[in-house]
Structure 1
Amino acid sequence: MRNIMKASTIESKFPLLAVEHGCIISKDADITVAFRVDLPELFTVTSAEYEAIHAAWVKAVKVLPDYTVVHKQDWFVSEKYRPQTGDGDMSFLSRSYERHFNEHPFLSHSCYLFLTKTTKDRMRMQSNFSSLCRGNIIPKEVDKEMTVKFLESVGQFERIVDDSGFITLTRLTDDEITGTADSAGLIEKYFALSPEDTTTLEDLELGADGLRIGDKKVCLHTLSDAEDLPGRVGTSIRYEKLSTDRSDCLLSFASPVGLLLSCDHIFNQYLFLDDSAENLRKFEKQARNMQSLSRYSRGNQINKEWIDHYLNEAHSYGLTSIRAHFNVVAWSEDADKLQHIRNDVGSQLALMECRPRHNTVDAATLYWAGMPGNAGDFPAEESFYTFIEPALCFFTEETNYKDSPSPFGIKMCDRVSGKPLHLDISDLPMKKGIITNRNKFVLGPSGSGKSFFMNHMVRQYYEQGSHIVLVDTGNSYQGLCELIRRKTKGQDGIYFTYTEKSPISFNPFFTDDYVFETEKMDSIVTLLMTLWKSADEKAGKTESGELGNAVSGYIHLIQEDRSITPCFNTFYEYLKNDFREELNNREIAVEKEDFNISNLLTTLRPYYKGGRYDFLLNSADELDLLSKRFIVFEIDAIKDNKELFPVVTIIIMEAFINKMRRLKGVRKQLIVEEAWKALSSANMAEYLRYMYKTVRKYFGEAIVVTQEVDDIISSPVVKESIINNSDCKILLDQRKFMNRFDAIQSLLGLTDKERSQILSINMSNHPGRLYKEVWIGLGGVKSAVYATEVSMSEYLTYTTEESEKMEVMELAEKLGGDIELAIKQLAESKK
């Protein structure tokens, strides 16, 4: 049917002919190669790295032939978080977390690069000769030799950029450009201004008074005149909101119109590579004309000086003369909102010291030229002359935080948008060689959100099958442990604490299967030696050897005779009777000064039945901690007890070492909270040193959590072991230590980049969200600041506020002990 409408069809004006072998061919014989660009994450790039990225772009652009257009296109589109609640095995807290972020808005970023080989005539084309203005387009032939040379230079371009180590280019396939029957291609997405799989083309209204695509009303701001640009440009700018007088937070020069512009928009960056020598000859001629006319106008004199300055720069430093253009295409379906967006774009351009120019005259032509593969249609009068180096400063060089591709990890949030992120800080960094162990060192003053972060991390590790052993000194994990205990009907979530009514009690001699590994036997010997000898007494070789014989003999006895109850009481009786008799009947007598068994029995008497501490090692609960996945030792009440505390610390370490050795292929975590209290014990310090060096071989990780670095330094045994063997360092708000952060930086071996990131924590938090920020550094190679934001249900589970914990527990008792239901009801009432 013949078209009788006044409006033209897109088909008649469409400038693209075909997409073959990953190349877009236009009807004017322009060839375009398209790439997806992966940029570094926001707030993770230093000044030197920005310079290195810039240098890589410069080298890459210089290998391209004349009459090439470099078109970088950054899409920033608002999306809403889709919760992952479809998994039937998802826990109550995980589901609460996902629901909390349901429909949470964030700005998604996609970056594309188009390299277009065109001709000299096309590069000089004005807007009145755009394919939009022509009745029809007669296809031209492609020059084979030119194409081969161009594709070779594109290969070199790709290699140079990839080798920089900061940016990755991925060639787009034909289907990604044109789309398939089921998914939209890049060209379709551009014509709908939507990154989603929209396979429906929308009406375009390309009028003089405005631009409309479907229901989206578009405004366009351009940087197309040298007069609109700042006097100086650089590769990076200081982001004041997250900078201090002692640290700089840097972003790329064009970041104000990138992720910092929080509306739907596309930022187009064009470089037009003309014949540089011809450009300079043209300017020489223009300068002579200005000189001859200078007596008639002072403006000619000034222009001549500017042209001379441009030529001097070009010849002095061997710079390449090019043309450039930058524009921001922003849109909204709401006309009133579009006015605010127009103001926002203008103010962000002004932050770059540019003069914002709202373009309505050439909006349609510029939008049409921004189509992937149609850069050859760009109107020449909208560009300005510059050099490669300053033009590339207008490239955006960072993107959103990215999810880890690993199946294992924890959920954190993007500090800018609040979008949930999947973050692997254990397995993937090990595979990539970023870290050599999974150990972690956590530092954060009181009130910085340390307990919240640790609860959040531990809960997610537990839900993914980890065995967790926690040493706590403030009931920080009581809520989470109680939730796990009631959920598993007492099969897990073991909470050891000391009270007068229910003193802490263990049985180091009990195992479900009567299997005693060498390490377990050694730990029992160490425990007995600690009970026998004081801290300043050194055990002799014969003493430790005979005590080892006694333990070995007792274990053999209980393995043979299962009617004997394994506990300290029956061991003491074996020691007093069978072992002493065997010792006395030996062919070679053991001298009393070498091994005084009477002194041993006297010293151990308080732990035998009827003694002062008979409860400690004779637990009636037949509890084998090997199979329990969440165990908390609350040691606050006994940390100052010189007799109980050393024993408890050894039992804790023994429990973990038993897991470490016997649970093959199972992830394990030992977490020591408020380390200084535990490290005050020499035995514990030695154990931690051993642990930190060997746990990585057994799919385990040791984590020390403390408020003060001085706590670690005060233990010389542990200082080097913990810090040197913790490839993952986690720091919370350090502004309390701002004046002495130099010492912390030196001790932890932090770089200046990491220092700047840490000192930016919580400096510019979003007022509409409740969260605390945390810095995570991996092996000095990768680091970033994330937000710990949780749902109300998680908050009530993790809270350390006594009144809130009591409120949860009292409601749980009223509901028959169902703590999960109590948390749900309280969370709903507090929303």
Structure 2
Amino acid sequence: MTLYIILIFVALCAGMAISVHAFGTGGKRKRIFQDIYFSVEDTEGVGVLYTKTGEYSAVLKIENPVQKYSANIDSYYDFTHLFSALALTLGEGYAIHKQDIFVRKRFVNEDTGKQEFLSESYFRYFKGRAYTDSMCYLTITQEARKSRLFSFDNKKWRDFLVKIRKVQDQLRDSGVQARFLNKSEASDYVDRYFAMNFKDRIISMTNFKSDDESVSMGDKRCKVYSLVDVDCISLPSMIRPYTNIEVNNTEMPVDLVSAIDSIPNADTVVYNQVIFLPNQKRELSLLDKKKNRHASIPNPSNQAAVEDIKRVQEVIARESKQLVYSHFNLIVAVSGDTDLQKCTNHLENAFGRMGIHISKRAYNQLELFVGSFPGNCYSLDEEYDRFLTLSDAAMCLMYKERVQHSEDTPVKVYYTDRQGVPVAIDITGKEGRQKLTDNSNFFALGPSGSGKSFHMNSVVRQLHEQGTDIVMVDTGNSYEGLCEYLGGKYISYTEERPITMNPFRIHKEEMNVEKTGFLKNLVLLIWKGTQGTVTKTEDRLVENVITDYYDAYFNGFDGFTPMQREDLRKSLAIDERNRDGNREESEQERNSRIECMIDEMERRRKELKVEELSFNSFYEYSVQRIPDICHENHISGIDLSTYRYMMKDFYRGGNHEKTLNENMDSSLFDETFVVFEIDSIKDDPLLFPLVTLIIMDVFLQKMRIKKNRKVLVIEEAWKAIASPLMAEYIKFMCAPVKVAS
């Protein structure tokens, strides 16, 4: 009987020991989560977290300013300068707690609306693909004076509200997107951290267990890695905010702690970066005492410590740097059946290459986990979990990069990011919530076979799906299949059926500087060729002829007005005085001769009639009007024979008589997808730029119909802009397109 009693007693003791080991004593650990928060309140739209130890905190959701793989070294330094400035703004008695959260997700198309077949197939291909998403929160906490009794200090409260707004303004002024979480969002954020669940819409908190190696919750296990072991701080003597990786034998800058976003087998990673801002005078005094204490015991290690402290003091004195206490830890959450040792090996190897040795003695797993709750950073042990350093060095250990997310824009063109999942980009740069430019024109540049046409096929298909009118100049039949798929209009240039247009046929209201410029470039292109040089005189002459041509058609010419006659008299009188001849001529005789000259000009102008608007009538008008203008203004050096010869090819009976005389199909203005295929003339130095000019004018006319967004795509544009005249016109055309597109 006694033996049975002893066995039962031993079994009870063993059970109690196992229970205590697994679940704790039910004392302090049982209440550890209950002792964190007092409440969450909404203050002017800001969700303020109140802890039971008297601290209050505000949480900003921010986006890290450095684009991952941007190769912009300056942006990493800008980040450290920004957060050092934030630390100076907050000052003594505040803590900055930055949490970067990385979550493994499966891709799901967020756009649930009706999509056409190719878009639907595109997203179906990527559905379920694993990728890492990231988010970032910045918690500003004001330290409470430790006391048995807590009293409300209105001055400190007002200081807190003012400074958190200053922090938000500084972030925004530096181009960082930042907004405060409200009460419900802050509560949800805390709950998600507790459950280590940042991807499911609905979260639940299940059985919680902790030991010296990990923290478990339901079917998850978490391990907290302290980045620095304060008993033996192994950090490099010099540190910078980035490191280099090698890509195709070229160095590429990445974040110093970039290894944390690719930990194997990790479902969730939370990188906690806590900066405590102490009283600077007190810390400098303590540092000086520490230096003297080391100096009092002369040995090599103490001497090295003295020299290190002196260097720090010199930097602080010379550059006004700030001393801060820092804490960095990583919380890695995995599924219950995953081996955490692989994560540990990855982190030790990655940080070891940078000269950083993560702590192997982080046995206070639960305390570190609880101390990393938003707003609860002051519960971290001052002696064991914090280390003193300069603010710049601490900021270098912060995570600075962001992954590309889909932009908030009505114009979504999808590309795949470096993780292989679709991301929506506003290629116009001006229609999204974040406007980058007011000029949506762009080039797609690349060598032959690099995929320019393939890329543009995808872009214009997506733009057309979103209600954009497309006009394309195609060489090489790159867009024939897409045009057929979208039910567009495909127009091929052939000798029997050339792309035609009567650019001279316009209404009186359309006559403006833009139209005159287009026609002038058209005429000069035919006259001078693509590589021809145009003098200012020739440019002005053609512009003058075009103006007179339309004036003759719309208004007719009944004679000079009194003002015009007076201007001509003055001009001709000056010309006569400058001549050597007729010196003996009287003033009356000269005036009489000038009147005869004006009458002759008037007679010749009246003889020039324009019955219809076309290239034929312009040619007939110009070959008569140009000699008159040259004679009237004593212009020399104009090669009229060459002008007639070059222009005649597009005149009645010429090889290209239809090109500029037959009207274009007016139904094109109602088409939403039009492709002009001009492969047969892509090597013609005259027709290619000429037809391109015609098509661009069609686009401008479509653009005036204020209906949908318009896009003009010029394939092989280098051939067009190789012509100085064409290049100038494209540059000229960009102005109205930029405004109206």
Name the TM-score class by shorter chain: 0.7 to 0.9
Report the CA distance between 1:165 and its aligned residue: 0.7
Say whether residues 1:658 and 2:651 are aligned partners.
Answer: no
Residue 87 of structure 1 is matched in structure 2 by 113
Q: 1:419 aligns with which of 418, 421, 434?
A: 421
User: 1:36: how far off?
Assistant: 1.8
What's the C-alpha RMSD, in Å, of the aligned pairs?
Answer: 4.5
Once the two structures are TM-superposed, the CA of residue 82 in structure 1 deviates from its matched residue by: 1.4
Query: Which position in structure 2 is the counterpart of 1:794?
Result: none
- Please give the alpha-carbon distance, in whole angstroms, between the structure 1 residues aligned to 2:241 and 2:510: 59
Q: How much has 1:26 moved relative to structure 2? A: 1.7
What CA distance in whole angstroms lies between the structure 1 residues aligned with 2:468 and 2:229?
60
1:94-119 deviations in whole A, cap 9, x for unaligned?
22222222122221111122233335
Say if 1:81 and 1:104, in contact at 8 Å, map to a contact too. Answer: yes
What does residue 100 of structure 1 align with? 125
Change (3 A) 1:287 1:634: same
2:721 equivalent in structure 1: 679
Which residue matches 2:64?
Answer: 39
| 2:246 is equivalent to residue 241 of structure 1 | yes
Deviates most, 638-647 or 69-78: 638-647
Aligned residue type for 1:31: Y
Q: Secondary structure at the match of 2:128?
A: coil
3-state SS of the aligned residue for 2:328? strand
Partner of 2:313: 314
Q: How far did residue 459 of structure 1 move?
A: 1.9
Q: Distance in 2 between matches of 1:280 and 1:643?
A: 78
8 Å contact 1:33–1:115 — kept in the other structure?
yes
* Structure 1 residue 164 displacement after superposition: 5.1
1:541-599 CA-partner distances (Å, limit 9, x unpaired)? 78646754787699xxxxxxxxxxxxxxx9889969xx99xx99xxxx999999xx999
Q: After TM superposition, give the deviation of residue 606 of structure 1 in Å.
A: 7.0
**1:510–1:101: structure 2 CA closer, same or farther, 3 Å change rule?**
farther
Residues 497 and 42 of structure 1: is their aligned pair in 2 closer, same or farther, counting only changes over 3 Å? Answer: same
**Would you say 1:191 and 2:194 are equivalent positions?**
yes
Paired position in structure 1 for 2:277: 273
Q: 1:26 aligns with which of 26, 29, 51?
A: 51
* Structure-2 change in CA distance of 1:354 and 1:548 (3 Å): same
Q: Could you tell me which of 71, 79, 82 is aligned with 1:56?
A: 82
Q: Distance in 1 between matches of 2:552 and 2:304?
A: 98
* Structure 2 counterpart of 1:631, from 656, 668, 674: 674
Distance 2:515 2:73 in 1: 55
**In the superposition, relative to structure 1, how do residues 399 and 233 fare at CA in structure 2: closer, same or farther (>3 Å)?**
farther
Letter in 1 for 2:710: K
Q: 1:651–1:260: structure 2 CA closer, same or farther, 3 Å change rule?
A: farther
Write the distance in 1 (CA, Å) between the matches of 2:690 and 2:390.
73
1:237, distance to aligned residue in structure 2 (A): 2.0
In structure 1, what is the Cα distance between the partners aligned to 2:102 and 2:176? 18
What TM-score does the superposition give when structure 1 sets the normalisation length?
Answer: 0.66
SS in 1 for 2:502: coil
- What is the CA–CA distance in structure 1 between the aligned matches of 2:315 and 2:686, rounded to whole Å? 80
Matching residue of 2:498: 504
- Of the candidates 387, 392, 402, which is equivalent to residue 384 of structure 1? 387
For residue 24 of structure 1, report the CA deviation from its aligned partner: 1.6
Q: What amino acid does structure 1 have at the position aligned with 2:371?
A: A
Instruction: List per-residue Cα deviations over 1:735-771 (Å, max 9, x = no partner).
Output: xxxxxxxxxxxxxxxxxxxxxxxxxxxxxxxxxxxxx
1:158 — aligned with what? 167
Hey, what does 1:175 align to over in structure 2?
A: 184
Query: The residue matched to 1:390 in structure 2 has which SS?
Result: helix
Partners of 1:225 and 1:403 in 2: how far apart?
A: 39
Counterpart in 2 of 1:349? 351
Secondary structure class of the residue paired with 1:271: strand
1:476 aligned residue: 478
Q: One-letter code of the match for 1:26?
A: T
Instruction: Report if aligned partners of 1:481, 1:495 keep a CA contact under 8 Å in 2.
Output: no
Matches within 5 A, 1:8-19: 8=26, 13-15=33-35, 16-19=37-40
8 Å contact kept, 1:36–1:111: yes
- Quote the residue 2:592 is aligned against: none
Deviation at 1:370, TM superposition (A): 0.9
Taking the aligned partners of 1:194 and 1:11, their CA distance within structure 2 comes to 22
* Cα distance in 2, alignment partners of residues 63 and 553 from structure 1: 72
Q: Does 1:222 align with 2:233?
A: no
1:518 maps onto 2:543 in alignment: no
Inter-CA distance 506–527: structure 2 relative to 1 (3 Å threshold): farther
SS of the residue corresponding to residue 39 of structure 2 reads: strand
1:395 correspondence with 2:395 = no
User: 1:267, 1:13 → 2: CA distance?
Assistant: 20
Report the residue type matching 2:196 in the other structure: L
The equivalences for 1:115-154 within 5 A come to 115-118=140-143, 140-145=149-154, 147-148=156-157, 151=160, 154=163
Note closer, same or farther for the CA distance 1:288–1:653 as it changes in structure 2 (3 Å cut). closer
Three-state SS of the structure 2 residue aligned to 1:696 is helix
Q: 1:639–1:362: structure 2 CA closer, same or farther, 3 Å change rule?
A: same
User: Relative to 1, partners in 2 of residues 1:377 and 1:688: Cα closer, same or farther, differing over 3 Å?
Assistant: same
1:372 aligns with 2:369: no
Of residues 446, 449, 453 in structure 2, which corresponds to 1:451? 453
Deviation at 1:396, TM superposition (A): 1.2
Q: Which has the larger radius of gyration?
A: 2
What is the aligned partner in structure 1 of residue 572 from structure 2? Answer: none
Q: CA deviation at 1:212?
A: 1.0
CA displacement at 1:76 relative to structure 2: 0.7
In structure 2, the CA distance between the partners of 1:232 and 1:315, relative to structure 1 (3 Å rule), is: closer
Unpaired runs of at least 5, structure 1: 123-138, 179-184, 555-569, 701-831
Separation in 1, partners of 2:181, 2:240: 28
- In the alignment, does 2:73 pair up with 1:71? no
Counterpart AA for 2:368? L
What residue in structure 2 maps to residue 690 of structure 1? 732
| Partner Cα distance (1:372, 1:431) in 2 | 29
1:33 CA drift (Å) = 2.6
- The Cα of 1:400 is off from its aligned counterpart by 1.5
* TM-score normalised by length of structure 2: 0.73
> Which residue is 1:733 aligned to?
none
What's the % identity of the aligned pairs? 24
> Taking structure 1 as reference, are residues 493 and 35 closer, same or farther at Cα in structure 2, changes over 3 Å only?
same
Contact 2:263 2:346 in 1 (8 A): no
* Pair 1:250 & 2:253 matched: yes
Asked if structure 2 preserves the Cα contact closer than 8 Å seen for 1:85 and 1:95, the reply is no
User: For 2:92 and 2:685, how far apart are their aligned partners in 1?
Assistant: 81
Distance (whole Å) between structure 2 residues aligned to residue 543 and residue 618 of structure 1: 19
1:222/1:404 Cα in 2 relative to 1: closer, same or farther (>3 Å)?
Answer: same
Match status 1:110 vs 2:135: yes
Q: Distance in 1 between matches of 2:615 and 2:101?
A: 77
Instruction: Please say if residues 39 and 166 of structure 1, whose CA atoms lie closer than 8 Å, have aligned partners that are also in contact.
Output: no
Taking the aligned partners of 1:406 and 1:233, their CA distance within structure 2 comes to 43
1:134-156 residue CA offsets vs partner (Å, 9 max, x unmatched)? xxxxx952442574265157337
Tell me by how many angstroms 1:438 deviates. Answer: 2.1
The AA in structure 1 aligned to 2:52 is K
- Secondary structure at the aligned position of 1:624 is classed as helix
Query: CA separation in 2, counterparts of 1:456 and 1:275?
Result: 58
In structure 2, distance between residues paired with 1:115 and 1:527: 62
Aligned residue type for 1:19? V
Question: Which of 438, 441, 446 is equivalent to 1:439?
Answer: 441
Q: Aligned in 2, Cα 1:144/1:120: closer, same or farther, shift over 3 Å?
A: closer
Residues 253-262 or 19-28, more deviating: 253-262
For residues 527-550 of structure 1, give each alpha carbon's deviation from its aligned partner in whole angstroms, at most 9, with x where no partner exists. Answer: 995798564796767864675478
User: Secondary structure in 1 aligned to 2:197?
Assistant: coil
State whether residues 64 and 150 of structure 1, in contact with CA within 8 Å, keep that contact through their aligned partners in structure 2. Answer: no
State the partner residue of 1:463. 465
Counterpart of 2:237 in structure 1 is 232
